[in-house]
Amino acid sequence: MHIPEGLIPAQQAAAWYAPAAAFVGAGLVGLKRRLAIQPSARPLIGLLGAFVFVISLMPIPVPGLGTVSHPCGTPMAAILLGPLTATVLGSVALLLQALFFAHGGITSWGANIISMAVGGSFAGFAAFRISRRAGLGLGISAGMAGFIGDLVTYGLTSLQLALALHGDEPVSYVWGAAFASFLPTQVPLAIAEALFTAGVVVFIANQRAEILEGVVVRP
Protein backbone atom coordinates (compact mmCIF):
# COMPACT_ATOMS: atom_id res chain seq x y z
CA MET A 1 0.00 0.00 0.00
CA HIS A 2 2.79 2.45 0.81
CA ILE A 3 3.37 4.15 -2.53
CA PRO A 4 7.13 4.76 -2.70
CA GLU A 5 8.97 7.95 -3.56
CA GLY A 6 8.76 9.00 -7.21
CA LEU A 7 6.07 6.54 -8.34
CA ILE A 8 3.41 9.19 -8.84
CA PRO A 9 3.97 12.52 -10.67
CA ALA A 10 4.89 15.55 -8.57
CA GLN A 11 1.68 17.44 -9.39
CA GLN A 12 -0.51 14.52 -8.33
CA ALA A 13 1.58 13.94 -5.22
CA ALA A 14 1.09 17.58 -4.25
CA ALA A 15 -2.65 17.39 -4.97
CA TRP A 16 -3.10 14.49 -2.54
CA TYR A 17 -1.55 16.61 0.21
CA ALA A 18 -4.50 19.05 0.26
CA PRO A 19 -7.25 16.65 1.41
CA ALA A 20 -4.75 14.81 3.60
CA ALA A 21 -3.89 18.04 5.42
CA ALA A 22 -7.59 18.82 5.94
CA PHE A 23 -8.30 15.45 7.54
CA VAL A 24 -5.15 15.45 9.67
CA GLY A 25 -5.81 19.04 10.79
CA ALA A 26 -9.36 18.18 11.84
CA GLY A 27 -8.05 15.09 13.62
CA LEU A 28 -5.45 17.08 15.53
CA VAL A 29 -8.07 19.58 16.69
CA GLY A 30 -10.32 16.77 17.87
CA LEU A 31 -7.43 14.95 19.53
CA LYS A 32 -6.39 18.08 21.44
CA ARG A 33 -9.98 18.56 22.61
CA ARG A 34 -10.26 14.90 23.67
CA LEU A 35 -7.04 15.02 25.70
CA ALA A 36 -8.12 18.23 27.43
CA ILE A 37 -11.36 16.57 28.53
CA GLN A 38 -10.05 13.02 28.97
CA PRO A 39 -6.30 12.96 29.73
CA SER A 40 -6.63 9.33 30.80
CA ALA A 41 -7.02 8.45 27.09
CA ARG A 42 -3.30 9.06 26.47
CA PRO A 43 -2.16 5.46 27.11
CA LEU A 44 -4.79 4.01 24.76
CA ILE A 45 -3.94 6.53 22.05
CA GLY A 46 -0.23 5.77 22.40
CA LEU A 47 -0.85 2.02 22.36
CA LEU A 48 -3.01 2.17 19.25
CA GLY A 49 -0.52 4.49 17.53
CA ALA A 50 2.21 1.93 18.13
CA PHE A 51 -0.10 -0.85 16.92
CA VAL A 52 -0.85 0.92 13.62
CA PHE A 53 2.86 1.61 13.13
CA VAL A 54 3.92 -1.98 13.71
CA ILE A 55 1.13 -3.81 11.88
CA SER A 56 1.47 -1.65 8.77
CA LEU A 57 5.23 -2.22 8.71
CA MET A 58 4.89 -5.82 7.52
CA PRO A 59 5.24 -5.46 3.75
CA ILE A 60 4.59 -8.23 1.24
CA PRO A 61 5.78 -7.24 -2.28
CA VAL A 62 3.13 -7.15 -5.03
CA PRO A 63 4.63 -8.28 -8.36
CA GLY A 64 4.34 -5.77 -11.18
CA LEU A 65 3.13 -2.78 -9.15
CA GLY A 66 6.27 -1.59 -7.41
CA THR A 67 4.43 -1.47 -4.07
CA VAL A 68 3.47 -3.80 -1.23
CA SER A 69 0.57 -5.36 0.65
CA HIS A 70 0.22 -5.32 4.42
CA PRO A 71 -2.43 -5.01 7.15
CA CYS A 72 -3.52 -1.48 8.08
CA GLY A 73 -4.65 -1.30 11.71
CA THR A 74 -6.57 1.93 11.13
CA PRO A 75 -10.05 0.29 11.13
CA MET A 76 -9.53 -1.00 14.67
CA ALA A 77 -8.14 2.35 15.82
CA ALA A 78 -11.21 4.04 14.31
CA ILE A 79 -13.59 1.81 16.28
CA LEU A 80 -11.82 2.51 19.56
CA LEU A 81 -10.95 6.20 19.08
CA GLY A 82 -13.02 7.48 16.18
CA PRO A 83 -11.95 7.88 12.53
CA LEU A 84 -10.37 11.32 12.80
CA THR A 85 -8.07 10.31 15.66
CA ALA A 86 -7.25 7.10 13.78
CA THR A 87 -6.36 9.26 10.76
CA VAL A 88 -3.82 11.17 12.85
CA LEU A 89 -2.29 7.94 14.18
CA GLY A 90 -2.07 6.47 10.69
CA SER A 91 -0.45 9.64 9.37
CA VAL A 92 2.21 9.64 12.08
CA ALA A 93 2.92 5.96 11.44
CA LEU A 94 3.29 6.61 7.70
CA LEU A 95 5.66 9.52 8.30
CA LEU A 96 7.92 7.55 10.65
CA GLN A 97 7.98 4.61 8.25
CA ALA A 98 8.95 6.89 5.35
CA LEU A 99 11.68 8.66 7.33
CA PHE A 100 13.31 5.71 9.07
CA PHE A 101 12.37 2.57 7.14
CA ALA A 102 12.19 3.74 3.49
CA HIS A 103 8.63 2.39 3.52
CA GLY A 104 6.58 4.86 1.51
CA GLY A 105 7.93 8.34 0.84
CA ILE A 106 7.70 12.02 1.70
CA THR A 107 6.33 13.15 -1.67
CA SER A 108 3.82 10.28 -1.57
CA TRP A 109 2.93 10.83 2.11
CA GLY A 110 -0.26 12.72 1.24
CA ALA A 111 -1.45 9.95 -1.09
CA ASN A 112 -0.65 7.28 1.48
CA ILE A 113 -2.50 9.23 4.17
CA ILE A 114 -5.62 9.33 2.00
CA SER A 115 -5.58 5.60 1.27
CA MET A 116 -4.59 4.07 4.60
CA ALA A 117 -5.16 6.69 7.29
CA VAL A 118 -8.33 8.30 5.89
CA GLY A 119 -9.78 5.53 3.73
CA GLY A 120 -9.06 2.69 6.15
CA SER A 121 -10.31 4.63 9.16
CA PHE A 122 -13.54 6.01 7.73
CA ALA A 123 -14.49 2.92 5.72
CA GLY A 124 -13.82 0.65 8.69
CA PHE A 125 -15.73 2.89 11.08
CA ALA A 126 -18.70 3.16 8.67
CA ALA A 127 -18.76 -0.62 8.18
CA PHE A 128 -18.77 -1.12 11.94
CA ARG A 129 -21.59 1.34 12.60
CA ILE A 130 -23.75 0.09 9.72
CA SER A 131 -23.24 -3.53 10.78
CA ARG A 132 -24.28 -2.75 14.36
CA ARG A 133 -27.37 -0.86 13.20
CA ALA A 134 -28.25 -3.84 11.02
CA GLY A 135 -28.30 -6.01 14.15
CA LEU A 136 -25.02 -7.86 13.69
CA GLY A 137 -23.02 -8.88 16.74
CA LEU A 138 -20.12 -6.91 18.08
CA GLY A 139 -17.47 -9.34 16.88
CA ILE A 140 -18.93 -9.69 13.39
CA SER A 141 -19.30 -5.91 13.08
CA ALA A 142 -15.69 -5.35 14.13
CA GLY A 143 -14.57 -8.04 11.72
CA MET A 144 -16.47 -6.35 8.90
CA ALA A 145 -14.70 -3.11 9.79
CA GLY A 146 -11.28 -4.73 9.57
CA PHE A 147 -12.04 -6.50 6.30
CA ILE A 148 -13.73 -3.62 4.48
CA GLY A 149 -11.37 -0.94 5.79
CA ASP A 150 -8.42 -3.02 4.59
CA LEU A 151 -9.82 -3.55 1.09
CA VAL A 152 -10.97 0.06 0.70
CA THR A 153 -7.40 1.13 1.50
CA TYR A 154 -6.15 -0.93 -1.41
CA GLY A 155 -8.96 0.17 -3.69
CA LEU A 156 -7.88 3.77 -3.11
CA THR A 157 -4.22 2.91 -3.60
CA SER A 158 -5.11 1.21 -6.89
CA LEU A 159 -6.95 4.37 -7.97
CA GLN A 160 -3.95 6.51 -7.09
CA LEU A 161 -1.67 4.24 -9.07
CA ALA A 162 -4.10 4.18 -12.01
CA LEU A 163 -4.29 7.97 -12.12
CA ALA A 164 -0.50 8.17 -12.08
CA LEU A 165 0.37 5.35 -14.47
CA HIS A 166 -2.53 4.83 -16.88
CA GLY A 167 -0.82 6.46 -19.89
CA ASP A 168 -3.08 5.91 -22.93
CA GLU A 169 -5.19 3.28 -21.16
CA PRO A 170 -8.52 4.13 -19.48
CA VAL A 171 -8.12 4.86 -15.77
CA SER A 172 -10.85 2.35 -14.95
CA TYR A 173 -9.01 -0.45 -16.75
CA VAL A 174 -5.70 0.27 -15.00
CA TRP A 175 -7.50 0.61 -11.66
CA GLY A 176 -9.10 -2.82 -12.12
CA ALA A 177 -5.78 -4.40 -13.11
CA ALA A 178 -3.97 -2.83 -10.15
CA PHE A 179 -6.65 -3.86 -7.65
CA ALA A 180 -6.70 -7.39 -9.06
CA SER A 181 -2.92 -7.56 -8.60
CA PHE A 182 -3.34 -6.75 -4.91
CA LEU A 183 -6.06 -9.31 -4.22
CA PRO A 184 -3.99 -12.54 -4.01
CA THR A 185 -1.94 -11.09 -1.16
CA GLN A 186 -4.46 -8.66 0.29
CA VAL A 187 -7.56 -10.83 0.70
CA PRO A 188 -5.82 -13.20 3.14
CA LEU A 189 -4.41 -10.18 5.00
CA ALA A 190 -7.87 -8.58 5.11
CA ILE A 191 -9.34 -11.78 6.56
CA ALA A 192 -6.56 -11.89 9.17
CA GLU A 193 -7.17 -8.23 10.00
CA ALA A 194 -10.90 -8.91 10.34
CA LEU A 195 -10.30 -11.75 12.79
CA PHE A 196 -7.78 -9.77 14.82
CA THR A 197 -9.97 -6.66 14.93
CA ALA A 198 -12.97 -8.70 16.03
CA GLY A 199 -10.98 -10.46 18.74
CA VAL A 200 -9.50 -7.26 20.18
CA VAL A 201 -12.79 -5.33 20.19
CA VAL A 202 -14.70 -8.18 21.84
CA PHE A 203 -11.95 -8.58 24.43
CA ILE A 204 -12.03 -4.86 25.24
CA ALA A 205 -15.83 -4.92 25.45
CA ASN A 206 -15.59 -7.73 28.01
CA GLN A 207 -12.72 -6.27 30.04
CA ARG A 208 -12.97 -2.48 29.66
CA ALA A 209 -16.41 -1.72 28.27
CA GLU A 210 -16.09 1.98 29.13
CA ILE A 211 -13.56 2.39 26.31
CA LEU A 212 -16.31 1.71 23.80
CA GLU A 213 -18.86 4.07 25.32
CA GLY A 214 -20.27 6.41 22.69
CA VAL A 215 -18.77 4.36 19.86
CA VAL A 216 -20.53 1.01 19.97
CA VAL A 217 -24.01 1.22 18.50
CA ARG A 218 -26.53 -1.10 20.08
CA PRO A 219 -28.40 -3.15 17.48
Task: Tell me the DSSP string of 109-142.
Answer: HHHHIIIIIIIIHHHHHHHHHHHHHTT--HHHHH
Mean pLDDT of the chain: 90
- What do you get for the CA distance between the two ends of the chain, in Å? 33
The answer to whether residue 4 sits within a structural domain is no
Segment 201-208 shows an average pLDDT of: 90
- The answer to whether residue 219 is domain-embedded is no
Residues in the chain, overall count = 219
Q: In this predicted model, which residue has the larger pLDDT, 212 or 13?
A: 13
How many domains does the chain contain in total?
1
Residues 21, 140: Cα–Cα separation, whole Å: 33
pLDDT digits (tens, 9 = 90+) for 2-59: 888 988 999 999 999 999 999 999 999 999 999 999 898 899 999 999 999 999 887 7
pLDDT of 15: 97
Region 142-147: mean pLDDT is 97
Q: Is residue 54 part of a domain?
A: yes
pLDDT for res 64: 61
CA-based torsion, 93, 16, 21, 84: positive or negative: negative
How far is the C-alpha of 23 from the C-alpha of 42, rounded, in Å? 21
Distance CA(149)–CA(117), nearest Å, equals: 10
Residue 130 has pLDDT above 80, yes or no: yes
Q: Please check whether residue 5 lies inside any domain of the structure.
A: no
Residue 217 lies in a domain: no
Asked if residue 184 lies in contact with residue 175, where contact means CB atoms within 8 angstroms, the answer is no
The 8-class DSSP code of residue 168 comes to: T
Please state, in angstroms and rounded to a whole number, the distance separating the CA atoms of residues 67 and 104: 9
Is residue 216 pLDDT above 80, yes or no?
no
Task: Please tell me the predicted confidence (pLDDT) of residue 62.
Answer: 65
68 located within any domain: yes
Instruction: Identify the domain containing residue 175 by its residue range.
Output: 10-212
Output the domain CATH number for residue 125.
1.10.1760.20
Q: Judge whether 119 lies within some domain.
A: yes
Is 218 part of any domain? Answer: no
pLDDT for 35: 93
- The confidence score (pLDDT) of residue 78 equals 96
pLDDT at 215: 60
Mean pLDDT across the stretch 119-148? 96
Range 141-158 average pLDDT: 96
